[in-house]
Amino acid sequence: MTEKTKAAWPKPRGTNRLTTSDSEKSSTESGIPAIKLGSRGSALALIQDHVVINRLKANSPALEFEVDTVRTRGDVDQTSRLAGMGLGIFVKELEQELLEGKLDIAVHSLKDMPTLQPEGLTLGATLDRQDPRDVLVNRWDCPLDQLPQGARIGTSSPRRRAQLMNLCPQARVLPIRGSVDTRLNKAKSDDYDGAVLAAAGLIRLGLTGDISEYLSAQEFVPPPGQGVLAVEIRTGDHRMETMLSPVENAETRFAITAERAFLEILGGGCQVPVGAYAKSNGEQLVLTVFLASEDGEKCFRAELRGQPHEPKQLANDAYLELVEQGAGQLLAQSAANPVSDSD
């Protein structure tokens, strides 16, 4: 069992618009326009906005921000299967507002972003990584391997579903949708016995006391970019590039480049469950990848080491390793009809 300490994070002040100034004006006293930051409107998204804002203001205290929330397709449609909704369902509307100049920056959970961005947009910064692992919450407060027969565990992620069915065959995996707090509440209802969620979201929301087990990233492999906040900007926006440069984490960038390169080799998304997690280990970058059939019966894992400054080569080596293991049919299947791994 892991620690139950709750993290202290600022609470969002609203879901439509907020600014770091007391006057709620859209410009600073010096007349410099406030930075227009866009994000989704969930409690977690607004806390993530504050994480980014606080980091940026620590370097440039005079900066002011307006936060505009946008409802994405993934937020509006709470009934469709995520596996059938395609890629970018939690980011496309934000990206459109960036392209139209309505926003200066957009804050995303990197795992929600397709590997291929729209022309005219780029990743302006990747911040320090929060815990990348998945976690199990359940009514018995027990680890995964001690769940009773027939335990009803919620997830809508194909990757989590496959790994649950492979590692915990006694459980029943049920679809579950909604924000982190919504899914957590559902997991505590009479319809479920638990759920698998991202550790980062519960940590940022101060809900670590609900965690029954942190799942090993080497055994229960996360999706590319999990735990990373990404700031997207327009290509060539030098003002935003300069503002964001102090919060860029080079180690995170190397890791997520390897993870996302592996996903890109599979077509930018995946028709089959896939995971990829990279971590610096001294002078090497260690990449763990996972690929499985939807029912979890066929699972392939590989762990490779390479140079941090060659993350794409490491991703390609991981792909070739899975081919050698016999995953060719699944790899070919993954190139068609990409899907989201988000919940």
Residue 343 a catalytic site member: no
Pairing of strands 229-234, 105-109: antiparallel
Tell me the one-letter amino acid at 51: V
Name the one residue in this structure whose structure tokens are 């909704």: 85
DSSP 5: P
Q: How many CB atoms lie within 10 A of CB 146?
A: 14
**Alpha-carbon span 31 to 65, nearest angstrom:** 13
**Alpha-carbon span 274 to 237, nearest angstrom:** 33
**Alpha-carbon span 62 to 238, nearest angstrom:** 18
From the candidates 49, 75, 112, 193, give the one annotated as an active-site residue. Answer: 112
Q: Is 182 exposed, middle or buried (0-12, 13-18, 19+ CB in 10 A)?
A: middle
Tell me the one-letter amino acid at 230: A
Catalytic residues: 112
